[in-house]
Amino acid sequence: MEKAKELVVIGGSAGSYNLIVDIIESLPLQFSPAIVVVIHRNPKFTTKIEETLSLKLKRAIVPAKDKMQICSNMIYFAIPGYHLLIEPDSTFSLDVSEPVQFSRPSIDVLFETSAEVYCKKCIAFLLSGANKDGTDGFRRIQEMGGKTYVQSPEDALITTMPEHAIRSSHYTDIFSDQQIISYFRNLK
């Protein structure tokens, strides 16, 4: 498999799951970037999101593992209980440091490390959620020349996360759910 030269990161919390399913469902069979998703999940509860979505959508969707190479045309999910970081050699690393914004995995941690490695080749989407996780990472992606998109609060089930990112960012585009789905449908 080819190492990803571009990275699309998606962060969401409460209220984002259905849109994430719609995003994955809309993807073409082949696309160039890797897609990495962080959903706030409690490690005390066993979830099989990757397995369930792989079966339902008939796509390879895998949990990101320590030292795993980030490859094109792949969909990765952060596992509960660990921060997911992007290393300079385009591999994942897992970290058990303190929660950020009460969350581990933290959207900020993924976004910030993605920005450092992929710079202008990093694209971020921040979806529905009940805290401000993701906002600092959004700013770092913008500083490094990457592109950021936030779910319209009008479409978000819980508006705290998108509204905070909009207030704190200067260069982000606000997309409706349909615009987000269209973006991924046309991903090359």
Reported as a pLDDT band with limits 50, 70 and 90, residue 109 is very high
List the catalytic residue out of 83, 103, 133, 169: 133
Task: Please confirm, yes or no, whether 95 is among the known catalytic residues.
Answer: no
- In the chain the domains, ranked by start, together with CATH numbers, are 7-185 (3.40.50.180)
**pTM of this prediction?**
0.95
Residue 89, pLDDT above cutoff 70: yes
Task: Please confirm, yes or no, whether 133 is among the known catalytic residues.
Answer: yes
Cβ pair 78, 9 in contact under 8 A: no
pLDDT at site 156: 97
Helix (H, G, I), strand (E, B) or coil at 99: coil
List the catalytic residue out of 16, 40, 83, 164: 40
Contacts (Cβ under 8 Å, ≥6 apart) of 188: 28, 31, 32
Task: Please confirm, yes or no, whether 170 is among the known catalytic residues.
Answer: no
